[in-house]
Amino acid sequence: MYKRIAAAVLWFLTGWTAGSFLTFTVGVSPVLGPVLGGAAAGLFAGDPRRIIWVRQPAPAALQSSALEPA
């Protein structure tokens, strides 16, 4: 869990920096930096498609034994 929190913080700062760079070069609203940072942090920390953060399989003792013959 600590890796996910650290990744969220780092992606937020990276997105904010990239947004601030775009603000400086293109001349768009300065709100772009925090918005990009928040979007990047949410995307990578949340990982909706489970590409980055793989869940550990449940231990064999906790799995259901409904399919085993009695």
pLDDT tens per residue across span 11-60: 899 999 999 999 999 988 999 999 999 988 888 887 766 766 666 666 66
pTM of the model: 0.66
Please tell me the distance from the alpha carbon of residue 56 to that of residue 61, in angstroms, as a whole number.
Answer: 14
Host H or E run for residue 15: helix 2-26
67 part of a folded domain: no
Residue 66 has pLDDT above 60, yes or no: no
58 part of a folded domain: no
29 part of a folded domain: yes
Q: Which domain holds residue 22?
A: 2-53
Sequence length of the chain is: 70
64 part of a folded domain: no
Count of other CB atoms within 10 angstroms of residue 66: 5
Structural domain total, the chain: 1
26 part of a folded domain: yes
31 part of a folded domain: yes
Q: Residue 33's closest CA among 46, 18, 11?
A: 18
68 part of a folded domain: no
